[in-house]
Amino acid sequence: MIHTRRTLTADQELEFDVCIIGSGAGGGAAAYSLSRAGRRVAVIERGSYLTPKDFSQREEKMFPQLFYDAGGRRTRDKAIRVLHGHGVGGSTLHNINLCKRTPEEVIAGWELPRFNLEKFNPYLIKIESLLGVTAVREDQLNASNRAFRRGVEKLGYRGGMLSHNRQGCVGSGFCELGCAFDAKMNVLRVLVPQAVAAGAEIYADTRAVAVEHSGRRARGVQCEVLAEDGRVQARLRIRARTVICAGGAIETPLLLQRSGVPDPNHLVGSRLHLHPGVVAAGVFDEPINSWMGIPQSYECTEFLSFKRGGTDEDKRVWIIAGSAHPAGAASLLPSFGDEHRKRMEQYPRFAPLSSMVHDRSSGTVGRKGEYGADINYQLNEEDCAQLARGLRESARILLAAGAREVLFPFTEPLVVRNDAELQAAPIAVRPLEIDVVAVHPMSSVWMGRDAHSSCTDESGRYQQLDNLYISDASLYPTSLGVPPQISTYAIGLYVADQIT
């Protein structure tokens, strides 16, 4: 059953076989698998239990409900906005439902003898089947993605349709604010009902304060139930034989640090990857209304390759359509006043493209105050160059598609109207000169072969505690270079199977 702050008003001590902290892709999948295997499972979720009626399609209402720090979380130097979600379903509530499998070359590059493609692939196949992953149909391409494809095809670049986990989609276009039409085949819709039917207990509005541990064992989890105004209204103490951390690549290391779990090599929270992206917007003569329809259904992979060596070594940018509702778009556009207003009047004619880099830059996650996140991450020169390349190629695609002009939202806005201007344009990505957004944090509690160089073993078990597991995007030893959604669902199933 699902419990919320409405009934969690008294302190309680509870006992379960497994306590899972976080109900996103990794935690939700683990809860699904373990509860169906007969384990008594508790799931702790910091956010609320939202149902279709709650997804109001209003930015100012949904940002605080769906994102940590109302979507305002940034890296220490404020150069990169880091979005990650909470709520029963975690980031699967707000993500755009793209399903791209973990690239084979990336898994091979990890060189983990006990975690290889042969072992992981069945979990990817299983979760795709559970979530009904299918290719987006031609008739579901919105005007923005059609323009994108037109440009890619005209230039002869490599591109293709994406696969999604949605069913009954009406194309309202409000995916990132949660689906009011209940068309997302996500944790909330698919896995939570089955986990609850199998006996899982889900505690929403509840913050995991610390993992209790002694010797080489985790003993349980201390939790606080939060009232609507954020004050603590009750405390839960959950004793469990196994504890699984699945709060995502920002919250999981923070929880481990708060808990003081043994970390002799100071690895937890280091090696963070963000898969950051920048946006360029084409301005077309005709209405595009990029906020309507499925926001991202086509991709350009001309500049993304996972092969090592040769000419492909330098291709690390994935280009995809973007979309934003008015407040989000207004925040991304440079300047203010008249200039900004004129740009916003073009809003219906924008077709934005986002370029995300398969980042080699890495950073750290540390505590900021009691529950805040100090994310220290700076893009290195190589990654900045990749993003600049992404911006330039995005503009080329948009111009080829018929854009009247392309806007780069640098602090000093840059506009190009043709290839010659693009050729001459000084496009460079530097911190705080263009908005960089990261929605795919990964790798902060990564798996590896030994306790000296990795946080968990290849089963996801924490190297220093025998019954503490990690089951989220923290586990990846490197950036995946693609959205981690479907990989993280599969990781949840995989980790659950490792627990004996």
Partner 1 sequence: MNRRRFIKGAAAATFTIGAGIRLAAPSAGAACSQLRHLSVNQGRILSASYRAITSDTNGAPLCDVEGAPIGLIDDLVGSLSARDRFELSAGLVLLEQSPLFLCGHWSRFTALNLEQQRDCLNKWRLGPRIGRPLFTAIKELCFLAHYTEPAHWESIGYRGPLVSGSGVATALDAPYLALLAPGELP
167 binds partner 1 (CB under 8 A): no
> Residue 121: which of 476, 486, 461, 449 has the closest Cα?
486
49 binds partner 1 (CB under 8 A): yes
Member of 74, 150, 219, 315 binding partner 1 (CB under 8 A):
74
Member of 10, 70, 227, 428 binding partner 1 (CB under 8 A):
70
Q: How far is residue 229's CA from residue 206's CA, in Å, rounded to a whole number?
A: 13
Member of 63, 120, 123, 377 binding partner 1 (CB under 8 A):
63
51 binds partner 1 (CB under 8 A): yes
Least distance CB 215 / partner 1 (angstroms): 34
193 binds partner 1 (CB under 8 A): yes
Member of 11, 15, 61, 227 binding partner 1 (CB under 8 A):
61
**Token output for 261:** 């779990």
227 binds partner 1 (CB under 8 A): no
> Do residues 434 and 407 make contact, with C-beta atoms less than 8 angstroms apart?
no
Member of 78, 113, 264, 310 binding partner 1 (CB under 8 A):
78
182 binds partner 1 (CB under 8 A): yes
59 binds partner 1 (CB under 8 A): yes
Least distance CB 225 / partner 1 (angstroms): 13
Helix (H) or strand (E) holding 422: helix 419-424
Burial class (CB in 10 A: 0-12, 13-18, 19+), 425: middle
- Binding segment for partner 1 among 127-135, 216-224, 286-294, 472-480 (CB under 8 A)? 286-294
161 binds partner 1 (CB under 8 A): no
Q: What angle do CA 444, 446, 447 make, to 5 degrees?
A: 170
Number of residues near partner 1 (by CB under 8 A): 67
Q: How far is residue 453's CA from residue 471's CA, in Å, rounded to a whole number?
A: 19
Mark 312-341 with x for binding to partner 1 (rule: CB under 8 A) and - for no binding: -------------xxx-xxx---xxxx-xx
Cα Dmax for the chain: 69
- Binding segment for partner 1 among 19-27, 69-77, 114-122, 236-244 (CB under 8 A)? 69-77
372 binds partner 1 (CB under 8 A): yes
Q: How far is residue 204's CA from residue 6's CA, in Å, rounded to a whole number?
A: 10
381 binds partner 1 (CB under 8 A): no
344 binds partner 1 (CB under 8 A): yes
> Residue 223: which of 241, 199, 204, 242 has the closest Cα?
204
> Do residues 470 and 456 make contact, with C-beta atoms less than 8 angstroms apart?
yes
> Do residues 206 and 226 make contact, with C-beta atoms less than 8 angstroms apart?
yes
377 binds partner 1 (CB under 8 A): no
- Binding segment for partner 1 among 49-57, 417-425, 445-453, 459-467 (CB under 8 A)? 49-57
> Residue 113: which of 442, 456, 457, 444 has the closest Cα?
457
Mark 239-278 with x for binding to partner 1 (rule: CB under 8 A) and - for no binding: ----------------------------------------
Helix (H) or strand (E) holding 338: helix 337-345
427 binds partner 1 (CB under 8 A): no
| Tokens 């008739």 -> residue | 139
> Do residues 167 and 132 make contact, with C-beta atoms less than 8 angstroms apart?
yes
Specify the 3-state DSSP secondary structure of 55. Answer: coil
The per-residue DSSP string of 114-175 comes to TS-HHHHHHHHHHHHHHTT-EEPPGGG--HHHHHHHHHHHHHT--EEE-EE-BSS----S-G
> Do residues 184 and 175 make contact, with C-beta atoms less than 8 angstroms apart?
yes
3 binds partner 1 (CB under 8 A): yes
432 binds partner 1 (CB under 8 A): yes
- Binding segment for partner 1 among 22-30, 187-195, 355-363, 489-497 (CB under 8 A)? 187-195
Which is closer to partner 1, CB of 63 or CB of 489?
A: 63
364 binds partner 1 (CB under 8 A): no
Name the residues that contact partner 1, by CB under 8 A.
1-4, 6-7, 49, 51-61, 63-64, 69-70, 72-74, 76-78, 172, 174, 180-182, 188, 192-193, 196, 287, 289, 291, 325-327, 329-331, 335-338, 340-341, 344-345, 347-348, 368-372, 411-412, 431-433, 435
